[in-house]
Amino acid sequence: MRLSERKMNMTNPNGRFGIHGGQYIPETLMNAVIELEEAYNRYKDDPEFNAELTRLFNEYAGRPSRLYFAQKMTKDLGGAKIYLKREDLNHTGAHKINNVLGQALLAKKMGKTRLIAETGAGQHGVATATAAALFGMECVVFMGEEDTVRQALNVYRMRLLGAEVIPVKTGTRTLKDAVSEAMREWTSRISDTHYCLGSVMGPHPFPTIVRDFQAVISKEIKEQMLEKEGRLPDAVIACVGGGSNAIGSFYNFIGDKDVRLIGCEAAGRGIDTFETAATVNTGRVGIFHGMKSYFCQDEYGQIAPVYSISAGLDYPGVGPEHAYLHDIGRAEYVPVTDEEAVCAFEYLAKTEGIIPAIESAHAVAYARKLAPAMSKDQIIVITISGRGGKDCAAIARYRGEDIHE
Amino acid sequence: MSKIAEAFKNGKAFIPFITCGDPDLETTAAVVRAAVANGASLIELGIPFSDPTAEGPVIQGANLRALEGGVTTDKVFDLVRDLRTDVTIPMVFMTYANVVFSYGADRFISTCKETGIDGLILPDLPYEEKEEFLPQCHKYGIDLISLIAPTSENRIAMIAREAEGFIYLVSSLGVTGVRSEIKTDLESIVKVIRANTDTPVAIGFGISTPEQASKMAGISDGAIVGSAIIKILAKYGRDAAPYVGEYVKSMTDAVR
C-alpha cells in the first residue's frame, strides 16, 4: 500500500479543509511543523518507507484487522446486517497504533530521538510508549490528572513500557489540558523531539498525516466488504472525539456518495446540558490548538469544560476535516449519551462476546438505533476502535459497584 | 508613523504586561496607572483566555484567576475606555486568536480603535495565518505585532519585512516565565531584523531582573516583562499597585 494512493482527497497547501484547519501556533513551532511537512512529503511515496510501515502494520500490529459479521447482533436488532471492524484486535488494543507506527517511523527518519504525546483514555499514550520502546526512543506522555485516575491501568502500562507519564494539573485536568501541555513542552524542546499527536487535529500537517496513516482502516473495510458481500456498505459508523478512527473509517468512502458516514459524538449527560463533549452538535467555529474548527466555547470564545464518561472523547474540539465533512453535508455527526454508550458496552459484551472500548460503544449505541430502521439487505459497518478492558472498572463504578483496580 | 513607534522615540522602552482582571479590573486599572507614573513606555494588556498555550504556570494562573473573577472581553474594553481618560502612552492587547475570532474580527478590532488600543499581539497567529485579522487591522489602523523566536532562522527576514508597530522577539524556547539565564544568541537575530526593517524590536520571555532588562534593552530597543509583574500581583493582590510601580521604576531606570 502506497501512501500516495490514500491522498486522493488532499488538502490545499496551507492545510485547509474548506475554512477549517490551518496553522494557528506560536512562531517558535513554525519551523518544526514545516520540517515535519517536508519530511512527510519526502517519505510518503518512498517505497522503502512504505515497505517498512506495511511490515510493521502486518507483522507487529497484526493488520489487517478483521471485518467480523456480527450475526447475533444482526438477528437481535432485526434490520441491517452488521459488521464490526475489529481495530480492538490490534496490538496495544486500539486503532491508535496505526498512526503511531507511521509517525514514529517518520520521526526516526527525521533523526528525532524523543517522542512526546498527549493522551486521554491512555490508548494513544500506550501506543506511543510502545513505538518508543520498539524504536529505542525516549518517551514522555502528558495525561490529565483526572484521566490518570479514570485510566490508572494505562498509566502503569505506559510506565512499564519505559515512558514517563506526566499528570497535567491545569484546567479541567483532561485531554484538552494534556494537548496544551504537550504543545508547551514541544516549544521548549524541538531539536530532538517529535510531538506524536494522537488525532486528526492540531496544526497542519498533523490532520493530514494522521488521517493518511489511519486511512488503512477504510481501505481494508472496502476490500473486505467487496470480498464478503461483493458491494459497499450502506453506512459506516465510528465514534468521534478528535476523530482519528472516524476519519480513518470514512476516508476511502468519501467519494462513494451512497455510503452514509456517521460520526458519534460523546453527548455526556445530554446535549441540552453543559456536561457534554458533542462538539459538532453544540459548538461553533473557533481557533484553538493550532486549528480552525468547531469548538465547545462560551460567547467570548473561552473553551468550555466538556464532559463525557469516555476519557478518549472528552475533548472540546473536532478535527478540521470532520468540520468540513459536516459543512458540506458529506458526513453526519450524532450525539450519544453516557447512558446509551454504557448500555451498548454491556450489550455488545453479552450479545457478541466482545467488550468494546467505551469510546467505541458510542458507535455501537447509534447502530442499535439505526439498524432496526434499515432493511435486511442493507449493511452497516461499525468501527470498534478499541477494546474495553481498560474501562471495566470505571463502568462497574458507573453502575454502582464498589470495584477498584 | 504608528502611535506605537512613539514608545521607542525617547530611548529604550520598558513594556510591562498585565493580565486584565487579575485579581479584579479595579486593581488592573490601578496597576496600569502606577506603571505609567513610573515610566513605562507602552502597556501590554492581556485579555484572559481559558487555555493560554504559550504561557507558563505564572501567567496561566493569572488567566484563571481573572476568568474566575468574571472578566469578559466587553469588560476589558470598558477598562480601556476608563484608562484612556488619563493614560496617553500606547497600549496593546495580548490575547489568543479565538478571543478575537469569537468576538468577530471586525467588531473586536473596530472596538480596539474606538477605545484606544494601538496594537494586537496574538501568540497563536504566526505569519502564515495573519490574513485572518490583518485586513481588519489595516482598516482600523491597529498594528498587528509580529513575533520572532529563537527557532525562526530563515523566517526572520520574511517576518521582519512586513512587521508593524514593534517586533516581539521571544528570548528563549518554551513558554513565558522567569528564567535565570537567557542563552539564545539574540544579537545575531536582532542584526538580521535590523537589516530588513526599521521597526523597533523589544525582547520578552524570561526577563525579571533590572540586570537582565538592561542587557536585553542594550541589544534591542526595549524589554517586555510579564511573569515577574504577575508574581507581584499574586503576592499583594488588590494592594499590588505601589509594589508594581516600584518594580517598574527599577526596570525603567535599568533599561534607559
A329-366 per-position pLDDT tens digit: 999 999 999 999 999 999 999 999 999 999 999 999 99
Q: In the annotation, is A96 catalytic?
A: yes
Residue B74 inside a domain? The answer is yes
Residues near B125 by Cβ (< 8 Å), separated by ≥ 6? A24, B97, B132, B133, B144
Residue B248 inside a domain? The answer is yes
Distance from C-alpha of A230 to C-alpha of A244, rounded to nearest angstrom: 27
Can you read off the three cell numbers belonging to residue B239? 494592594
Chain B nearest CA to A153, separation (Å): 28
List the single best residue of B59, B107, B111, B128 to mutate versus A (max A Cβ within 10 A). Answer: B128
Phi, psi of B166 (to 5 degrees): -145, 165
Residue at a domain's end among A210, A236, A271: A210
Range of the domain at A36: 16-59+95-210
Chain B nearest CA to A341, separation (Å): 29
Q: Are residues A135 and A267 in the same domain?
A: no
Residue at a domain's end among A210, A237, A262: A210
Range of the domain at B32: 3-145+207-255
Q: Are residues A151 and A226 in the same domain?
A: no
User: Which pLDDT belongs to residue B1?
Assistant: 58
Distance from C-alpha of B186 to C-alpha of B172, rounded to nearest angstrom: 9
User: Which pLDDT belongs to residue A9?
Assistant: 43
Residue B101: which of A14, A31, A287 has the nearest Cβ? A287
Q: Are residues A179 and A86 in the same domain?
A: no
Q: Are residues A255 and A237 in the same domain?
A: yes
The tens digit of pLDDT for each residue in A162-202 reads 999 999 998 888 899 999 999 999 999 999 999 999 999 99
Residue A404 inside a domain? The answer is no
Distance from C-alpha of B195 to C-alpha of B160, rounded to nearest angstrom: 9
Residues near A276 by Cβ (< 8 Å), separated by ≥ 6? A266, A267, A268, A269, A270, A282, A296, A306, A307, A308, A335
Residue at a domain's end among A148, A178, A210: A210
Residue B49: which of A24, A184, A302 has the nearest Cβ? A302
Q: Are residues A356 and A279 in the same domain?
A: yes
Closest-CA residue of chain B to A23? B129
Work out how many domains chain B is built from and give that number. Answer: 1
The tens digit of pLDDT for each residue in B36-61 reads 999 999 999 999 999 999 999 999 99
The tens digit of pLDDT for each residue in B203-214 reads 999 999 999 999
Closest-CA residue of chain B to A287? B98
Q: Are residues A373 and A357 in the same domain?
A: yes
What value does the mean pLDDT of chain A take? 95
Q: Which contacts of A70-75 are long-range, i.e. CB under 8 A and separated by 24 or more positions?
A: A70/A351, A70/A352, A72/A351, A72/A352, A73/A348, A73/A351, A73/A352, A74/A371
Is there a contact between B18 and B46 (Cβ–Cβ < 8 Å)? yes
Can you read off the three cell numbers belonging to residue A123? 490508548
> Does the distance separating the beta carbons of B152 and A27 come in below 8 Å?
yes
The tens digit of pLDDT for each residue in A102-127 reads 999 999 999 999 999 999 889 999 99
pLDDT at residue A8 greater than cutoff 50: no
CB atoms closer than 10 angstroms to residue A169: 12
Q: Are residues A22 and A114 in the same domain?
A: yes
Residue A9 inside a domain? The answer is no
Q: Are residues A88 and A183 in the same domain?
A: no
Q: Are residues A198 and A250 in the same domain?
A: no
Residue A403 inside a domain? The answer is no
Residue with cell 538580521: B192
Q: Exposed (0-12), middle (13-18) or buried (19+): which is A2, by Cβ within 10 Å?
A: middle
Q: Are residues A151 and A245 in the same domain?
A: no
ipTM of the complex: 0.97
Q: In the annotation, is A346 catalytic?
A: no
Q: Are residues A339 and A369 in the same domain?
A: yes
**CATH (domain of A327):** 3.40.50.1100
* H or E element that contains A187: helix A175-188
Which residue is catalytic, options A44, A85, A87, A118? A118
Phi, psi of B169 (to 5 degrees): -95, 115
Distance from C-alpha of B254 to C-alpha of B213, rounded to nearest angstrom: 7
Q: Are residues A143 and A225 in the same domain?
A: no
**In chain A, what residues touch B57 (CB-CB under 8 Å)?**
170
pTM: 0.96
Work out how many domains chain A is built from and give that number. Answer: 2
